[in-house]
Amino acid sequence: MRVTNNLASTPFARTRPIVVFTSVLGVLLVGLLGFLIYLNVANRWEARETTARIAELQAESASVARQQAAQDAILRDPRYSEVLEQTVFINSLLRRKAISWTRLFDDLATVLPHNVRILRIRPQVTASNEVYLDMDVASETGEPVVQMLRRMEGSPVFGPTAIHSSLAPTESEPLYRYRISVNYAQKL
């Protein structure tokens, strides 16, 4: 029996670069798999910590809600209603007293023309702790009052203005009188 295998007749194939490339690619893919497994484990660990923190915060929130409900029950007790009303009244008085008259007049001096007189100022504090001024002003003509209103609206301290009423001069009162309201941005 004769074998006719001529090795020289088959061309030489260069497979070494392909083997090296596939080996490097395999190592890279195994490394990438390891990195992805690490990320998965780290995310699970972080998710456990986050879940534990959420449970802790929910328990704390429930505890605060129980304490608030207990305090509300005490305040709803008829024995304490008079004290609560007095507290609300005293707090409203303290809010009114918190207005600095010196600062108010300094701020008004920046917008008040020389020929406008302030006859009355009544500051009021709203429920949201904003100051609202109700003023009576007088002038020989209406132009200085309009100038004052423009300055107030352009000032960062005063807000929008409104004229509620105006009185023309009479024999006993020679000045134009205006009732004006304006928001005042004094922090309490």
Which sequence spans correspond to the domains of the chain?
16-76, 100-184
From the list 109, 160, 163, 157, the residue with the least C-alpha distance to 135 is: 163
Most confident of 23-37, 124-138, 141-155: 23-37
For 111-139, the pLDDT digits (tens) are: 999 999 999 999 887 777 788 899 999 99
Query: How far is Cα 177 from Cα 152, in angstroms, rounded to an integer?
Result: 18
Mean pLDDT is lowest, of 2-6, 110-114, 135-139, 148-152, for: 2-6
Query: How far is Cα 148 from Cα 108, in angstroms, rounded to an integer?
Result: 9
Neighbours of 145 (CB within 10 A): 21
Architecture of domain 100-184: 2-Layer Sandwich (3.30)
pLDDT interval class at 98 (50, 70, 90):
confident
Q: Which residues share a beta bridge with 136?
A: 120, 179
Query: How far is Cα 164 from Cα 83, in angstroms, rounded to an integer?
Result: 38
Do residues 139 and 117 make contact, with C-beta atoms less than 8 angstroms apart?
Answer: yes
pLDDT interval class at 16 (50, 70, 90):
confident
Most confident of 34-38, 161-165, 167-171: 34-38
Provide the phi-psi class of 98: left if phi over 0, else alpha when psi is between -120 and 50, else beta.
alpha
From the list 157, 163, 145, 154, the residue with the least C-alpha distance to 183 is: 157
Q: What per-residue confidence (pLDDT) applies to 101?
A: 85
For 42-62, the pLDDT digits (tens) are: 999 999 999 999 999 999 999
Once rounded to an integer, what is the mean pLDDT over residues 82-96? 79
From the list 187, 179, 188, 182, the residue with the least C-alpha distance to 108 is: 182
Q: What per-residue confidence (pLDDT) applies to 6?
A: 58
Grouping H, G, I as helix, E, B as strand and the rest as coil, residue 39 is helix
- Structure tokens that stand for 153 in this block: 């609206």
Q: What per-residue confidence (pLDDT) applies to 179?
A: 95
Q: Which residues share a beta bridge with 165?
A: 179
With b meaning 16 or more CB within 10 Å and e meaning fewer, what string describes 10-38? Answer: eeeeeeeeeeeeeeeeeeeeeeeeeeeee
